[in-house]
Amino acid sequence: MAKNNDINLELSLSQYVEDDPWVLTKKLSDSDLCYRAQLYLPKQEMEQFILPEMENDLVRKLGAGVEIRLRDIDSVNDDSYTVRLKVRNGQYYLEKGWRLIKNDKGLKTGDHIGLFWDKLTGEFKFKHFKSQSITIHREAGTTSTQKNKLKEK
């Protein structure tokens, strides 16, 4: 008879809250969506949640710009895009590839989007929250949309 040994294996795949990984959220403005738009990303969230998850070599190259994959998790076909992530004067932004995403997704001023960096695949995950109001409550690990769902039950 085999002896049952209790082994405690603890896996830590990410610093993100399991049910709500959207550590970087943004309400889209007219300037994010105009013809020659670049998507400027919130600096604090980039530096606190995204950059620590990226490979050091990738972070070092941000000044010149790096091409990365952005996977649309809402897509039935598992669509992904190539975008250029860049930093200039302390501002992080997506340029090349952003216009295709905003057009494919039909993004509008006031829509909310969420991003997180998937360390295992080395890519951004992207979610379009449409024009829902979404507020991250980092301490509680929930979003306002999750709290509204709880109220409805």
Which of 30-34, 68-72, 117-121, 133-137 bottoms out in mean pLDDT, i.e. has the lowest?
133-137
Q: Are 123 and 70 in contact (CB under 8 A)?
A: yes
Average pLDDT over residues 47-57: 94
Give the pLDDT mean for 56-64. 95
- pLDDT tens-digit profile of 118-146? 999 999 999 998 765 545 444 444 444 43
Report whether 85 contacts 38 (CB < 8 A): no
- Closest C-alpha among 150, 136, 139 to residue 20: 136
pLDDT for the residue numbered 22: 83
- Name the amino acid, one letter, at 9: L
What's the confidence (pLDDT) of residue 95? 93
Question: Is the pLDDT assigned to residue 3 strictly greater than 70?
Answer: no
Q: What pLDDT was estimated at residue 8?
A: 42
63, 87 Cβ separation under 8 angstroms: yes
Of residues 148 and 116, more confidently modeled:
116
Q: pLDDT at residue 11 above 50? A: no
The predicted structure's pLDDT at residue 144? 44
17's CB contacts (< 8 A; 6+ apart) are: 141, 142
What are φ and ψ of residue 100, in 5° steps? -65, -45
Q: Quote the pTM value.
A: 0.71
Average pLDDT estimate for 108-119: 94
Residue 74 pLDDT: 86
Mean pLDDT of the chain: 79
Kindly state the average pLDDT of the residues 37-63.
94
Number of helical (H) and strand (E) elements in the chain, helices listed first: 5, 9
Handedness of CA 89, 68, 46, 32 (dihedral sign): positive
